[in-house]
Every structure is written in C-alpha cells, then in structure tokens.
Amino acid sequence: MSLHDDAVSVLDGYDGGDAQQAELRLAYLDHLAGHPDGMWKACGAGHLTASALVIDPQRGRVLLTLHKKLRMWLQMGGHCEPQDTTLAAAALREATEESGIAGLTLLPGGPVRLDRHPIPAPCHRHLDVQYAATASPGAVEQISDESLDLRWFPYDEVTGVADASVERLLEDTRARLGQGR
C-alpha cells in the first residue's frame, strides 16, 4: 500500500465529530483524488502533512516547538518523506525528530484533528493530519535545527502562546485521554 493509499484509508475512517471536521475530511479526500502527488511538498496545489502534539498527561503539559520559519509555537510535524509508509509513521517520525524524544507513542484511534492552513511559498497550503503522542515521564527533549526553541507548557498556558489550531488539538487530545476539555 502506498502512502497515498494509506492517507485515503485513514481519511475514509476518520470521524472528527463535527461538521467542520467532516467538511475538511471530504476536502482532503477530494484533494487526493485530484492530485496523485498530493502527499508531497512538490504539489503546487497544496499537500498533506503529518503532525503530532507531544503530551505528558501525568504532568499535564505539552511540548511545543518555536518553528524556525513561522516563528510560532506549534506541535511537531511536517512533510511526508518517501520512506514514510503511513501517515501515522510520518507523524511519529516528525515528532521524534523535532522533539529529540525516543519512545513516543501515538494515541490509539488515528488522527485527533485535521487542520488546513496557508503556508508561505513554496508550499502555499498544508492539509495537516494531526495526531497526538505521549512521552514517558521524565522524557528529555532535545532541540532540532528546525526549531528556535522547544519548551514544555502546562495545559493552561497553551492559550497564551499558541494559536487556535494548537488549542483545539490540545482540547481534543485531552478529551481522547479522558481528561476533559
């Protein structure tokens, strides 16, 4: 199965629980149907990306990266690579590379959210498939060359540093963990 096929399968099975997520799911599927190269950065019409919010549920905190190009606090994530066999594997690879934390575990149940957002050229638009990954207690992060900074934030501080897409991802991740919204 190709990465493109995996993405279609993941999106076919995705239930984000609200009308906006259902609309995005269909838009992503339409994009993939119309763009055989829709998984790759070279696709000028936009492309799927994979990300993961790294969370330490025992300490009630999330690890965010200060993105080098966008200069925003975001979850770990980025472009799919030829060696990625699944969207989940791409998200886990990105989270591991950007956090420096080995042994991250994706939450079961597939993606937590979808988020479509504009990006400066040459990418133009990302159709992000967002997962969440748990870090073991005592995990030590290590900044990558893609980040200006890497920092743990208590849940209640995320609103003050990150944009609404990260806030929604945290809310839905906490709901999936049974930690409320």
The answer to the question of residue 181 being in a domain is: no
The answer to the question of residue 114 being in a domain is: yes
Residue 1 makes CB contacts below 8 A (sequence gap 6+) with: 9, 85
What is the reported pLDDT for 164?
Answer: 94
Amino acid letter, 124: H
Tally of domains within the chain: 1
Q: Are the CB atoms for 26 and 104 separated by under 8 Å? A: no
Q: What is the mean pLDDT of the chain?
A: 92
The answer to the question of residue 74 being in a domain is: yes
The answer to the question of residue 106 being in a domain is: yes
| DSSP code, position 107 | P
pLDDT in tens, 93-114: 999 999 999 999 999 999 999 9
Which CATH number covers residue 65? 3.90.79.10
Q: Which domain holds residue 124?
A: 3-176
Residues 59 and 15: their CA atoms lie apart, in Å, by 28
**How would DSSP label each residue in 47-64?**
EEEEEEEEEETTTTEEEE
pLDDT in tens, 50-70: 999 999 999 999 999 998 888
What is the reported pLDDT for 32?
Answer: 96
What is the reported pLDDT for 141?
Answer: 94
The answer to the question of residue 146 being in a domain is: yes
The answer to the question of residue 73 being in a domain is: yes
Distance of alpha carbon 35 from its chain centroid, rounded? 21
Task: For the chain, list residues with pLDDT below 50.
Answer: none
The answer to the question of residue 23 being in a domain is: yes
The answer to the question of residue 30 being in a domain is: yes
